[in-house]
Amino acid sequence: TGAGRKKDEL
């Protein structure tokens, strides 16, 4: 996946 947006966070 690599660094980037954490899609599970609100």
Partner 1 sequence: MNFFRLLGDLSHLASIFILLHKIQTTRSCRGISFKTQVLYVVVFVTRYLDLLTFQFHSIYNTVMKLFFIGSSIYILYLMRVRFRPTNDPSIDTFRIEYLLGPCAVLSLIFNYGYTWLEIPWSFSIFLESVAILPQLFMLQRTGEAETITTHYIAALGAYRALYIPNWIFRYFTEDNGVDAIAVVAGIVQTALYVDFGWIYFTKVLQGQKFELPA
How many positions of this chain bind partner 1 (CB under 8 A)? Answer: 10
CB of 2 to partner 1, least distance (A): 6
Of residues 1 through 10, those in contact with partner 1 by CB under 8 A are 1-10
Distance CA 8, CA 1 (A): 14
Alpha helix segments (H runs only) across the chain: none
- Name every residue whose Cβ is closer than 8 Å to that of residue 10 and which is 6 or more positions away in sequence: none
Smallest separation (angstroms) from partner 1 to the CB of 7: 7
Chain residues in the site for partner 1 (CB under 8 A): 1-10
